[in-house]
């Protein structure tokens, strides 16, 4: 198929773009490079350096869109909500209108576990309440709402994938290793690995007074290669007039302390940890039920071991 991947120069988008090229699709990556890297675009893909608000002729002949381009830092979204509404909702509405005028009726959208907010139960089902606790989650939920409306009104075939905590690295068929490369790193695993490489002296543990076994937050970590594979299944599952929503996690939770311990084992580095206060907006436990995508699309995490996920991230960093 002829496909457009917005945000395909970013971490997750570039892995999906690589898998699409490897599966024989004709891929155009559209990215404004505000946070992405041009060298992450697969060799076999066309690259258009542009914002999603100016997509224009990049949609000519396109049969489906995989939409990753977004602002994605929870903390930043609390400080600059307007930026998140403008980019994530405004940008996506512009993209949807451009898709309509080009007759493109399939979209796979990067949604997030942040749409649920503080969950009432664990694991989280797609039918559970959505009460986001920050503008990032709220802006992504607003897009999910718009997709439902566009599917009903305009016959769009949409699939939203609600990611939990994505980590690890992917080696593309052309040999390039695709990994997290954020200018401002806020995520746990890359921050811990920066201690092991000597880039940081210690890692902060944001709160040890949560109602969990060791008092630190529990998250569901999913390997980026498994996550990316779900997008190819989702693309085939786009059905005109329907908006489907699936969680994507491994179904198992690990605490911040457990993740740091795994990083110590994998890297052989002591990784000093300093206990600090809670980070605003962090729910205590976020674990996905991925039963729906397993049952309906046949997806299953193949690299669900936290050790494998950390080892891949570490090998990509130190190769
Ligand atoms: N944490 C630390 N120290 C750090 C970094 C993180 O203790 O240096 C803790 C956080 O407080 C949290 C856990 O590690 O409890 C995981 O934090 P991340 O920042 O790695 O990930 P989040 O769970 O905050 O966020 C991720 C995505 C979001 C998405 C969310 C939904 O980055 O985009 O998962 O689950 F919304």
What is the pLDDT of the chain when averaged over all its residues?
A: 96
Residue predicted with more confidence, 182 or 194: 194
pTM of the model: 0.96
Strand ranges in the chain using DSSP code E only, listed in sequence order: 2-6, 26-31, 46-49, 64-67, 106-112, 157-163, 165-167, 170-171, 177-178, 203-206, 218-223, 243-248, 253-255, 273-276, 285-286
Instruction: Match 């080892």 to its residue by tokens.
Output: 311
Q: Which pLDDT band holds residue 270 (cuts at 50, 70, 90)?
A: very high
At 54, the pLDDT band (50, 70, 90 cuts) reads: very high
Q: Taking Cα atoms as reference points, which of 48, 51, 171, 153 lies closest to residue 105?
A: 153
Is 51 touching ligand 1 by the criterion CB < 6 Å? no
pLDDT band at 304 (very low <50, low <70, confident <90, very high): confident
Between the CA of 112 and the centroid of ligand 1 the distance, in Å, is: 12
pLDDT of 271 reads 97
The pLDDT, as a whole number, for residue 282 is 85
Angle at 83 between CA 81 and CA 84, to 5 degrees: 65
pLDDT in tens, 96-137: 999 999 999 999 999 999 999 989 999 999 999 999 989 999
Let me know: does 15 contact 225? Beta carbons within 8 Å.
Answer: yes
> What's the pLDDT at 153?
96
Strand, helix or coil at 316? Answer: helix
Ligand 1 atom closest to the CA of 217, numbered from 1:
15
Residue whose CB lies within 8 A of the most ligand 1 atoms, among 167, 215, 256, for a mutation test: 256
pLDDT at 281: 78
pLDDT score for 252: 94
Phi, psi (degrees; rounded to nearest 5) at 161: -110, 120
Q: Say whether 11 is catalytic.
A: no
Residue 183 has what pLDDT?
A: 83
CA–CA separation, 311 and 319 (whole Å): 12
Residue 307 has pLDDT above 90, yes or no: yes
| Catalytic option among 11, 84, 116, 136 | 136
Q: How far is CA 293 from the centre of its chain?
A: 16
Q: What is the pLDDT of residues 148-178, one digit of tens each?
A: 999 999 999 999 999 999 999 999 998 999 9
> In this structure, are residues 238 and 64 in contact, taking their beta carbons and an 8 Å threshold?
yes
pLDDT at 74: 86
Whole-number Å distance between alpha carbons of 192 and 188: 6
Question: What number is the average pLDDT over the span 208-217?
Answer: 97
With CA atoms as reference, report the closest residue to 179 among 167, 187, 191.
167
Q: Is the CB of 186 under 6 A from ligand 1?
A: yes
Question: What tokens appear for 317 in the block?
Answer: 């960093």
Percent of the chain with pLDDT over 90: 93
Residue with tokens 């490369």: 181
Does ligand 1 have an atom closer than 6 angstroms to the CB of 124? no
Q: Assign 182 a pLDDT band (cuts: 50, 70, 90).
A: confident
Average pLDDT, stretch 213-218? 97
Average pLDDT, integer, range 50-75: 96
Each residue of 90-106: pLDDT tens digit? 999 999 999 999 999 99
Quick one: tokens of 179? 């990994």
How much distance in Å is there from the Cα of 58 to the middle of ligand 1?
34
Is residue 90 classed exposed, middle or buried when 0-12, 13-18 and 19+ CB atoms within 10 A define those classes? middle
Query: Nearest-CA neighbor of 47 among 17, 20, 70?
Result: 17
Distance 219 CA to ligand 1 centre (A): 8
Contacts of 101 (CB under 8 A, 6+ apart): none
């Amino acid at each position: 198929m002829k496909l457009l991947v917005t945000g395909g120069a970013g971490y997750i988008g570039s892995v999906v773009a690589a898998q699409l090229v490897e599966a024989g699709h004709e891929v155009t990556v559209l990215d404004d490079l505000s946070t992405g890297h041009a060298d992450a675009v697969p060799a076999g893909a066309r690259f258009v350096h542009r914002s999603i608000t100016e997509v224009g002729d990049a949609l000519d002949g396109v049969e489906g869109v995989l939409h990753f381009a977004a602002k994605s830092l929870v903390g930043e979204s609390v400080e600059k909500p307007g930026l998140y509404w403008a980019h994530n909702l405004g940008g996506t509405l512009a993209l949807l209108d451009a898709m309509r005028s080009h007759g493109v009726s399939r979209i796979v959208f990067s949604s997030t576990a942040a749409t649920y907010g503080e969950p009432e139960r664990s694991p989280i089902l797609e039918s559970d309440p959505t009460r986001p606790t920050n503008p990032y989650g709220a802006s992504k939920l607003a897009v999910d709402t718009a997709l439902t409306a566009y599917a009903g009104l305009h016959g769009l075939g949409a699939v939203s994938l609600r990611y939990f905590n994505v980590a690890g690295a992917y080696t593309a068929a052309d040999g390039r290793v695709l990994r997290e490369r954020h200018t401002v790193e806020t995520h746990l695993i890359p921050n811990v690995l920066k201690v092991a490489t000597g880039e940081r002296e210690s890692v902060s543990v944001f709160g040890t007074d949560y109602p969990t076994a060791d008092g630190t937050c529990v998250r569901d970590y999913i390997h980026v290669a498994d996550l990316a594979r779900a997008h190819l299944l989702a693309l085939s599952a786009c059905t005109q007039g329907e908006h489907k929503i699936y969680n994507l996690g491994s179904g198992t939770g690990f605490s911040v302390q457990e993740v740091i311990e795994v990083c110590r084992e994998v890297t052989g580095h002591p990784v000093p940890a300093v206990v600090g206060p809670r980070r605003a907006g962090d729910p205590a436990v976020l674990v996905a039920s991925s039963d729906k995508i397993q049952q309906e699309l046949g997806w299953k995490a193949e690299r669900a071991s936290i050790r494998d996920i950390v080892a891949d991230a570490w090998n990509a960093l130190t190769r």
